[in-house]
Structure 1
Amino acid sequence: MLELLGSHLSNAEIAAKLFISVRTVESHVSSMLRKLGVPDRRALALRAAVDRPRQEPVPLPAPLTSFVGRARERVELSEMITTHRQVTAIGPGGVGKTRLALTVAAEVAGQYADGVWFADLIPVTDSGMIATAVAGALGLGEQPGRDLTESVLAALADRQALLVVDNCEHVVDGMARFLERLLAACPRVSVLATSQARLMVPFERVYQVPPLSLAGESDAVALFMERAAAAGGPLDPPQHDQITAICARLDGMALAIELAAARYPTLGLDGITSALSHPLRMLTGGSRADQRHRSVRAVLDWSHALLEPADQELLHLVSIFVAPFTASAAAEVAGSEMGVVADGLARLAEQSLLAVTASPKGTSYRALETIRQYGTERLSEAGELAGARARHLRWCLTQAVGLAADRPDWRARFDAVADDLRAALMWAAGEPEQRADACRLARHLAELTFTRHLVGEAQQRYEQASALADDPAAAASMLRRAAAVAGCRMRGDDMYRLYRAAARLAGGTAAAADLATAAIATYRFDTQFEQVPEPAEVVALITEARELAGDDPSARAMVALAEAGRALTEAFGSPGGTARETVALVESAVALARHAGDPLGESAALDTLTVAQSWAGDTFASAATARRRITLLSSVPDSPAKTHELIDALAASMESSLGAGDLPNARRWARQLADHPLLAEVGHRATAWLLVADALAGDAGDVLAASTRFLDAWRRAGSPARAGLGPPAAAVAMIHGLRDDHAARGEWSAILRRLDTSPWQTHGYGAVFDAILLLHRGQAEEAMERMAPEPGEARIPWIWLHWYAALRCEAAVLAGLPDARDRLAGTRAVVAGNPLAEAIVERAESFLGQDQKRLLATADVFEAAGCRYQVARTMVLAGGEQAERGAAALADLGLAPMAPAPMTSER
C-alpha cells in the first residue's frame, strides 16, 4: 500500500488494485500516518518514494554499426542539453538525427543520477498515445482509472534524468502539450527530442542537424568508406575524390550515403555514380527494424504523408528548381499568389523539406537532390510535369534576358540561376513544341557564359543554339560565334570545322566569307591545330570561296586575305623564298577590309601583314602594325569574334615587341594575356609568353612562380606536344640553369624535347636561351658552336633574329676570335633600331676595347628596359668593384655566380 501511495494513486485506485474496500484503505492510511509520524498523505507519498527501490531506465538502443564523425555536432548538442532542459534536434529524414541523439545521450548519461530514458514515437498513431510510449520506456503499466500521463509525471517527479524522445514530427502538437506538463511537474528532468519539425513551444531550444561534412577529412567520405568496407572490402585511398563527388551528390545525407555504400560490392564507384541519375531507385537497402529507413523513398513517403495536400503540391512544383530559389520565383512556377506560396514554403521549411538561407539580398530555399527527384516523380505521376517545366522555362527566359542588362552584380545573379537555365534548356531542347524558346535560351546562355568566362560551355551553347534554329542564316550566325569562341580557347580544329559548317548553312557570299575564314585559320592559327588540313584541301576552299564571293566587299576582302596568307605560307616553305612580294598583296587585303567596313576582317589582315613584314626583315614595321591592331579593336563592340582578335593581337604585339627589343611593352602585353580570364582553361598558353619575357629580363622568381601554373595547366590539357609551347619551356630551363639547379633544368629540357624539335628550337629561341646560359658560365666557345650558322644562313625566326645576332657577336668577343672586331660592324647593321640588341653589341665592343666607362653606360639601357639580369651581367663584365656589385645583384635575383670575365687579346 505504501508503494501505491508513492505512485500517487487515490484510495479508490488502491482499493481496486489490492481488491479491498475503500474503507479498509482509509484505515490502513490512518494507521501508517500514526506509525510513521508524518502529518499528511503527501508526506506519506514522499516517504514511500524514498523507501521504494529505484526503477532502472530502459537501456538505450544498442547501435549495430559504429558511429562515424560528427565531433563538432556532438560537442554542440551536448553543451546545449547541459544548458537547456528541452532541446529538439531537427533535420530532414535520413540526415542522422537519431544516431546523433543516441550517441550524445550515451556520452552525457553520467551527468544524470537516474540515467537516460529512451522513447521511440514511430509506433504512435495519434497524440493520445504519446504517454503510452513514454510509459512503456519507463516500465509503467496501465493503472485502472488513472491517466498514463499522470503516471509518467508521478514516476519522474523526483528524478534527475534525461528523456530522449525520438521521431516527433507526426505528433508535434500532442508532443508540445505533453512536454509542457512534463517539464512543469518534473523539475529535474531534461528532454532531447528528434523531429523533422520544431515542436513550437516557448521553452524549446532547436539544434539543426547538418548533413555530414564534405570538406577536408570529411565525415561523409569516412562513413561511405566504412560502410562500403563492411559490405565488400576496403576502398583504396586514391578513390577519395570519386567518393567525395558521390557524397556531394547525396547532399551529405547519412542514410543515403549508407545505402549507396551498401551497393559498392555490386556496382563499384563508377556504377554508383551512374546510378545516382535515379537516386530513389538505387538508394534502397535490406531489411531494417524501422521500415522507413529501408530506402530513401520510404523516408520521403513518411515525410510527404505528414503534409497537407496544398503543401504536397507546392513541394512537387518547387522540385523543378535545381538551385536555390526565391518565393517570387516559386510563385511564378506555381502560378499562385506570392503570399500563399511564401506561407507554404515556410511550412515546408519547418518540416525540414526545404533548406532556408537568409541574407541581406533576401531569403532563398533549396530542396535536397533526393527530395527534388521525389517531387518531380510525383509531378509526373499526376501528369503535371510538362506544365511545370514549361512555366519554369518561361521564368528562366525572363531571368536570362534580365541578366543581359549591365548591372554590377550580374555575375552573382547569373551564378544563382545558371543551373536552372541549364536544366530548363536540357528539357526544352528535347520538346518539339518548345524548340523556339529552347533556341532563345541556348543563345542567351551562350552569351552569358562567354561573358562569365565559361568559354567551353559558351562554344557548346552556341552550337546548340545553331542546331535548334529554324532559320539557316541564324543557325550559321551561331556557328560563327561558336568558331570565334573556339578561337579564344585556341582550338584550331574546332574553328575550321565550325566555319565550314556555317558555310554549308549560309550559302552565297556569306558562305564565301566563311570558307575563306576557315582557310585563313589554317595558317594564322596553325599551332593551335591538332591536325592541320592538307594544303590541297585549303586551296580547294579558297577556290570555292572565290567563286562564291561575287562583288560582295566583305567576301572579296576575306578571299584576298586567304590568298595572301596562302602565298605567304608557300614563301616560308620554299628554299630562298621571300615574303617581300606578298606584303603588297596583304596590304591590298587590308585595304579591301577597311573599304568593306569590316574592322574584324581588317584586324585579321593586319595580323597577316605583321607576319609578312617581319619575314621580309622589317621588324619595326611589324611591331607598329601589331600595335595598330590593338588601336583598331579598341573601338569595336564586344563579341566573341572581337575578343578572339584582341587576344591574338595582344600575342602578336608581345612577339613583335620582343623582336624589336621593346621588352617593357612585351612584358605588358604578356601580362595582359596571362591574366585574361577567358584563357583560364588554357593556362599553359596564357602564361607562355610571360615566361619568355620574364626570363629574358632575368626575373627568376616570377618565372619559377609562373612555370608552376604553366606546367599544371599543360598537364591538365593532356600534355600536348605543340611547337608554340617550346619557347616557355626553354626559358624556364635556362632560368634553372642560371640557378645551377641541374635537376630542374634536366626536367624542363626533357619537356622541351617533347614539345618541339623544329628548326625554331635549333636556330631560334633554343639557341638564344642556350647561349645566354653558356655565356653566364663562361663557355663562350661552346656558345659560338651553338650559334654556328650566320644569321643570314639559318632561317632564324624574326622574333629571335636580333637576339641571336647580338649574343653571337658577344660570344665571338668573349671567345677571343680573331675576327671579333669585324663581326661587330656587321652585327650593328643587323640589329640597328633594337635598343637591347644594340646595347649587347655595344657592351661587347666596349669590353673588347677595354672601355669600362662605355661598357657601364650600357647598363642604363638594360635598366630602362627592366632587364635586371643584363644589368648585373654588365657590372660583372666591367670587373673590379663593379664585378662585386654585379655578383650581389645576381644573388638578389636568385641566380648563381657568373664566371669571371675573360681577358681579351686587346687587353
Structure 2
Amino acid sequence: MRQTGAVGTAAEISPREAEVLELVGAHLSNAEIAARLLISVRTVESHVSSLLRKLEVPDRRALARRAPEPAGAGTSRPAPVLPATLTSFVGRVSERAELAGRIRAHRQVTATGPGGVGKTRLALAVAAQAAGEYADGVWFVDLVPVTDPDLVATAVAGALGLGERPGRDMTASVVAALADRHVLLVLDNCEHVVDGVALFLERLLTACPAVTVLATSRARLMVPFERVYPVPPLSLAADGDSDAVALFMERAAAAGRPLDSPLREQVAAICERLDGMALAIELAAARYPMLGLDGITAALSHPLRMLTGGSRADERHRSVRAALDWSHALLEPADRALLRRVSVFAAPFTAAAAAEVTGTEENLVVDLLARLAEQSLLVVTTTPRGTEYRALETIRQYGTERLAEAGELAEARSRHLRWCLAKAAALASPQPDWRARFDLVADDLRAALAWAAGRPELRKDAYELARHLAELTFTRHLVGESQRHYEQAAELAIDPADSAPMLRQAAAVAGCRTVGDDMYRLHRAAAEAARGSGDTAGAAADLATAATAAFRFSPRFVRHPSGEEALALIMEARRLAGDDPAARAAVALAEAAVLADAFGAVQGPPGNAVPETMAYAGRAVELARRTGDPLAESAALDALASAQSWAGETFAAAATARRRITLLSPVPDSPTGTLELIDALGMVTEAELGVGDLPGARRWARRLAEHPSLAEVGHRAPLMVDALAGDAGEVLTGSIRLLSAWRGAGSPARSGLGPAVAGVAMIHGLRGDDEARREWQQVLNQLGAPPEYFHGYGAVFDAMLLLHRGQAREALRRMGPEPGQVWKWVTWIWHHWYVALRAEAAVLDGSPGARDRVAEAGAVVVGNPVCAAIVERAEALLNGDQEALLATAKAFDAAGCRYQSARTMVLAGGEHAERGAEALAGLGLAPMAPAPTIVLPHDNGHPGRGTGRRADQVREPP
C-alpha cells in the first residue's frame, strides 16, 4: 500500500516538488507531469532526482509509494496513455473480442498482418477497451522512429517517463519501474527491430509478472512465449453489409460526400478489389468526392497510383505504395527477387508452381515463401491439395512494378505463360476433380492470356491459350466468357483456316445463351473467314446456317434479319456449295426454314404453304442423314417437326421431337452439340405439351432446367409446363430465376420468352394478385407482342384466366378467330388448347353453335388427354351429365393436371365444389367464380337444351 503519512518537512520539499511527487504517485510519466504542470520535461526530471535524494529512496517505484494518497484514489485507475485517434473506429466486433481474449489469456500477443490491414487501429481499440482491467494503466510505444534494435528499451523508457540512471541500462530501468506494476504495454510497429524487441521482452516479462504486452508487427517476433493473432482484412460481403463497406461509407461521408444505400453493392465490389485492406479503403474513400465510384473502379487498374492520401503523421500511411516500400526495404535480396517474380500469379499458387515459374529450386523456394509469409507479404492457406500462397492485389501489383524495374517482366510473364499452357492442356481431359483443378488456375490462365494477346511475337501461344480457355470455360458452364474466348481465338489465329472453326463454336455458344443476333453475326463472320482460307464449301454452310438461325431461332433475336437478307444468303450459299454433302445439307435446311416461311407469309392459310414446307423439310432430313452427322440430322428433324405441326400432325411432330433426343444422346459435349440438345429438349417439352402429355413434358422440362449451360439464362419451357398445369408454386419459383436472368442480360426485347412470361402473368391472375399480374404484363410488353401472342399463347393463357373468373363471354371474344384463320399462330403447342378452351367458353357463354363447336373440337383433340378432357367436360355441361362431368376430373388427375381437376369439381357444384375450392387453395390459387347459368337456344334439332340451368344443375348419376 502507498504510504499516506507526511513525506517530509516544508524545508525539505518545495511546493512544486510536492506537486510532482503526487503525480508520480498517480503513475504519470515525466511527459504527462510536464504537460499537467506546464513545465518542461527536463524540469520534471530535475524535481524527480531531487525527490529521490531528499526522501532517500532508490527508484521511482519507491518514490511513488511515498506520495500522499489523493482523494478518491482508492477506486480510480490511471487514464490510458494512448495516442488520440482522429477518425472513428469502424466495425471489427469479432476481431476486437478475439484479440481482447488473447491478451487476457496470454502475457505476450503479437497482432500481425501486412501494412495497411489495420493492426495499429485494432490494437488501440482493444487497449482502450481493456484499460480498466489494468490497475497501473495502459502504455503505448511507437517504434517507427527507432532505427537501432538496441534502442527499443530507450523508446519504452521514454514513453514511461523514465530517465537514464548511472550504472543501469535502459532495459533495467524499465524492468525496475514495472516490476510490481499491473500494466498493458502496447508496442506498435515492431517489424524493423524484431530482434531488439524479442530480447527486451524476454527480460521484461521474466522480471515483471503483472505486465502484458500487445505488439503489432508485419512479422512475428519468433519467441517461445509469443502468441500470434493474424489481423484479417475487413469483412467483405457481396450484398454490401460488411465492415469494409461501412468503413468506405463512413470515410466518404467524412470527406463531404455521403453515399446512398443503393450504392453499397458497387462499394462492396471496390472493397473486394482492395482485398478488404483498411488503409487502401480509406484512401479510396477519400478520393470519392473527386472521382465518384465509377472513377475509383476505373482507377483501380493501377491502385498504387490512385491510393494516395493527404497529410499523415506516419509517412508510411500516406499511400499504399509507401506502406509497401517500408515492408520491401526490410527484405533480403533473395526475398525481394522471389516476391516480384511470384507477382505474376493471379491466383493462389503452390511452392511447386512458384519453383517452376520463377526458375528456383523447390527446396529453396519453400524457405523463401515462408520468409515472405512471415513478413505478411503472402497469405498462406492450408487446403486438401496442400499449402497455397497468395499475394494481396496491391502487393501483387507492387511486385509487378518491381519486376519491370528489374528488367525481368517479359521473362517472368513468358515463364508464367508456358506454365499456363501446360496446365490448360492437362485440363483438356476432365477428371473427377476437374472443376476444382480448373478453378485453382482459371485466374492465372486469364491473366496470362490478357498479357500474351498484346504481344505479336507470342500470338501463336495466345491463340492456343484462348482456344483452351474457351473450351474449358464452356465445360465449366461459363458460357458468356466462353463465347468471348472463342472470338478472341479467331482474332489471334495466324492461319485463316483456324478462324472459321472458332467463330462457329462462338456462334453455338451464343445460341446456348439465347443471343440470336450474335449467332447470326458469328456465322456470317465464319463464312468470311472460310472464304478467305479458300474453303468455299465451309463458307456456303456458314451462310446457310446464318439464314437458318434467323428463322429457326427467331425468338432469340432482338434485331431480326429481313426475309430478303436471308434469301440473299441462301442464294450465295447455293452458288458456293458445289457437290459438298455437308454444304448441300445446310442449304437444304435453310430452304426448309426460310423458303417455307416465305410461302406461308405470302400465300396464307394451310393448303398453300404446307405442301411446300413438308417437301423442303423432307429433303433437308434426307440430305442431312447422308452426311452421317447427327447434329445436322437433328437440325433437319427440327424443320420436319415444325412442318408436321403446320400440317396439323401434332402427334407426328411430337414423335419427331422425341426422335431428336434419341439421335443426340451419344453425341459428346461441345458447344454445337449442347446447342442442338438444348433446342431438342425445349422442342420435346413443348411437343409433349401440345399433345397433352404433362408428365412427359415435366420430365423433359426438368432435364432442360437442370442443364448447366442454362445457368445464366434459364429456359421458358419449364414455366410453360407448370403454368398450363396450374402449379402456382413451381411457376413462382421459376419466375424469379427467369426475371433475374432477363434483367441481368439487360432486359432485351426477345419475344421467345413471351409464352413463359404470359404464363406467369396468368398464374398471378389465378392467385388473385392483380398487381403482380400487371408487373408481368409490363415485362411482356417490353418483350414485344408478336402475332402468336394475340392468337396463340396469349389467347390461351388469357382465356384460362377469364374462365376461372367466370367471364366466359370475354374468353370467347379473346379467342374469336376460327382456328383456320390463325392457323400459323396456334399450331405446335397451342392448337389443341385453343380449340378445347374455345369450345368450353362457347358452352359456358351459352353461345349459338356451341354444340357444333364442341363436336369439331372433339375431333381435333383426339388422343390428347388434357384437351380431350376439357372438351368432354364442355359436352357434359352441355348435356347436363354430372357423371360424365366427374369422370373428366379423374381424367385430369390421371393426366397430371390438378388445376383442371379442381376446376371440374367447382363446376360440378354442391359438395364437389367445396372439395374443388379446397384443391384450388392447396394449389395457391384464388377461388373460382360461381358456376354460371348455361342458357342455350334450341339448335341443331336438340329441343330442350336451352331451358336455362347453372353448370352445377346437371343430372346426378342414377
- TM-score range (shorter-chain normalised) is over 0.9
Asked if the contact 1:327/1:342 (under 8 Å) is kept, the reply is yes
Question: Unaligned stretches of 5+ in structure 2?
Answer: 1-6, 14-23, 26-44, 47-51, 70-76, 937-944, 946-953
Query: Does residue 626 of structure 2 align to residue 604 of structure 1?
Result: no
Which of 794, 802, 817 is the aligned partner of 2:832? Answer: 802
Q: CA separation in 2, counterparts of 1:304 and 1:105?
A: 29
Query: Does residue 105 of structure 2 align to residue 83 of structure 1?
Result: yes
Q: What does residue 368 of structure 1 align with?
A: 392
Return 198-207 or 53-62, whichever deviates more.
Answer: 53-62
Flag the 1:727–1:182 CA change in 2: closer, same or farther, 3 A: same
Query: Does residue 229 of structure 2 align to residue 214 of structure 1?
Result: no
What amino acid maps onto 1:320 in structure 2?
Answer: V
Normalised TM-score (structure 1): 0.93
Q: What does residue 856 of structure 2 align with?
A: 826
- What's the CA shift string for 1:470-506, capped at 9, x where partnerless? 1111111111111110111111111111111111111
Flag the 1:53–1:336 CA change in 2: closer, same or farther, 3 A: farther
Q: What does residue 181 of structure 1 align with?
A: 203
After the TM superposition, which residues 355-754 of structure 1 pair with which residues of structure 2 at under 5 Å, given as runs? 355-507=379-531, 508-574=536-602, 575-576=604-605, 577-683=608-714, 686=715, 688-754=716-782
Flag the 1:514–1:115 CA change in 2: closer, same or farther, 3 A: same
Q: CA separation in 1, counterparts of 2:857 and 2:317?
A: 84
Asked if the contact 2:191/2:218 (under 8 Å) is kept, the reply is yes
Asked if the contact 1:578/1:616 (under 8 Å) is kept, the reply is no
Q: CA separation in 2, counterparts of 1:579 and 1:46?
A: 109
Query: Does residue 877 of structure 2 align to residue 855 of structure 1?
Result: no
Asked if the contact 2:556/2:751 (under 8 Å) is kept, the reply is no
Specify the SS of the correspondent of 1:579: helix
Query: How far did residue 671 of structure 1 move?
Result: 2.6
Asked if the contact 2:248/2:281 (under 8 Å) is kept, the reply is yes
- What's the CA shift string for 1:285-304, capped at 9, x where partnerless? 22322121121111111101
Flag the 1:752–1:275 CA change in 2: closer, same or farther, 3 A: closer
RMSD value, Cα: 2.5
After the TM superposition, which residues 52-67 of structure 1 pair with which residues of structure 2 at under 5 Å, given as runs? 59-67=81-89
What amino acid maps onto 1:807 in structure 2?
Answer: L
Flag the 1:360–1:758 CA change in 2: closer, same or farther, 3 A: closer
Query: Does residue 858 of structure 2 align to residue 811 of structure 1?
Result: no
Q: What does residue 65 of structure 2 align with?
A: 50
Q: CA separation in 2, counterparts of 1:725 and 1:48?
A: 88
Which of 203, 207, 219 is the aligned partner of 2:225? Answer: 203
What amino acid maps onto 1:848 in structure 2?
Answer: L
Flag the 1:851–1:174 CA change in 2: closer, same or farther, 3 A: same
What amino acid maps onto 2:217 in structure 1?
Answer: S
Q: What does residue 162 of structure 2 align with?
A: 140
Q: CA separation in 1, counterparts of 2:344 and 2:540?
A: 45
Flag the 1:340–1:47 CA change in 2: closer, same or farther, 3 A: closer
Q: CA separation in 1, counterparts of 2:108 and 2:786?
A: 78
Asked if the contact 2:697/2:721 (under 8 Å) is kept, the reply is yes
Query: How far did residue 571 of structure 1 move?
Result: 2.2
What amino acid maps onto 2:550 in structure 1?
Answer: T
Normalised TM-score (structure 2): 0.88
Q: CA separation in 2, counterparts of 1:153 and 1:548?
A: 95
- What's the CA shift string for 1:370-408, capped at 9, x where partnerless? 111111101101100111001111111111112222212
Flag the 1:167–1:45 CA change in 2: closer, same or farther, 3 A: closer
Flag the 1:594–1:694 CA change in 2: closer, same or farther, 3 A: same
Flag the 1:349–1:462 CA change in 2: closer, same or farther, 3 A: same
Q: CA separation in 1, counterparts of 2:855 and 2:60?
A: 121
Specify the SS of the correspondent of 2:224: coil
Asked if the contact 1:876/1:901 (under 8 Å) is kept, the reply is no
Query: How far did residue 52 of structure 1 move?
Result: 5.6
Return 652-661 or 620-629, whichever deviates more.
Answer: 652-661
What amino acid maps onto 2:659 in structure 1?
Answer: R
Query: How far did residue 603 of structure 1 move?
Result: 1.0
Query: Does residue 352 of structure 2 align to residue 323 of structure 1?
Result: no
Q: What does residue 282 of structure 2 align with?
A: 258
What amino acid maps onto 1:749 in structure 2?
Answer: Q
Asked if the contact 2:892/2:901 (under 8 Å) is kept, the reply is yes
Asked if the contact 1:626/1:652 (under 8 Å) is kept, the reply is yes
Q: CA separation in 2, counterparts of 1:711 and 1:679?
A: 14
Asked if the contact 1:214/1:247 (under 8 Å) is kept, the reply is yes
Query: How far did residue 57 of structure 1 move?
Result: 8.5
Flag the 1:255–1:745 CA change in 2: closer, same or farther, 3 A: closer
What amino acid maps onto 1:647 in structure 2?
Answer: I
Percent identity, aligned pairs only, is: 69
Q: CA separation in 2, counterparts of 1:249 and 1:761?
A: 46
- What's the CA shift string for 1:322-381, capped at 9, x where partnerless? 111111111111111111101111111111111111123211111111111111101101
Asked if the contact 2:843/2:934 (under 8 Å) is kept, the reply is no
Which of 783, 794, 801 is the aligned partner of 1:755? Answer: 783
Flag the 1:226–1:883 CA change in 2: closer, same or farther, 3 A: closer
Flag the 1:805–1:47 CA change in 2: closer, same or farther, 3 A: closer
Q: What does residue 171 of structure 2 align with?
A: 149
Asked if the contact 1:333/1:388 (under 8 Å) is kept, the reply is yes
What amino acid maps onto 1:803 in structure 2?
Answer: W
Flag the 1:866–1:328 CA change in 2: closer, same or farther, 3 A: same
Q: What does residue 811 of structure 2 align with?
A: 783
Flag the 1:140–1:903 CA change in 2: closer, same or farther, 3 A: same
Asked if the contact 2:527/2:540 (under 8 Å) is kept, the reply is yes
Flag the 1:510–1:122 CA change in 2: closer, same or farther, 3 A: same
Query: How far did residue 903 of structure 1 move?
Result: 4.5
Flag the 1:734–1:285 CA change in 2: closer, same or farther, 3 A: closer
Return 438-447 or 761-770, whichever deviates more.
Answer: 761-770
Asked if the contact 2:657/2:687 (under 8 Å) is kept, the reply is yes
Query: How far did residue 710 of structure 1 move?
Result: 2.2
Asked if the contact 2:843/2:851 (under 8 Å) is kept, the reply is yes
Asked if the contact 2:657/2:680 (under 8 Å) is kept, the reply is yes
Q: What does residue 68 of structure 1 align with?
A: 90
Query: How far did residue 776 of structure 1 move?
Result: 2.1
Flag the 1:383–1:593 CA change in 2: closer, same or farther, 3 A: same
Asked if the contact 1:734/1:769 (under 8 Å) is kept, the reply is yes
Query: How far did residue 45 of structure 1 move?
Result: 10
Q: CA separation in 1, counterparts of 2:370 and 2:316?
A: 25
Flag the 1:886–1:46 CA change in 2: closer, same or farther, 3 A: closer
Q: What does residue 39 of structure 2 align with?
A: none
Specify the SS of the correspondent of 2:344: coil
Query: How far did residue 516 of structure 1 move?
Result: 0.9
Asked if the contact 1:580/1:613 (under 8 Å) is kept, the reply is no
Aligned residue pairs total 875
Asked if the contact 1:57/1:138 (under 8 Å) is kept, the reply is no
Question: Unaligned stretches of 5+ in structure 1?
Answer: 8-16, 19-24, 33-40
Q: CA separation in 2, counterparts of 1:707 and 1:106?
A: 53
Query: How far did residue 892 of structure 1 move?
Result: 1.5
Asked if the contact 2:695/2:895 (under 8 Å) is kept, the reply is yes
Q: CA separation in 2, counterparts of 1:819 and 1:176?
A: 102
Q: What does residue 35 of structure 1 align with?
A: none
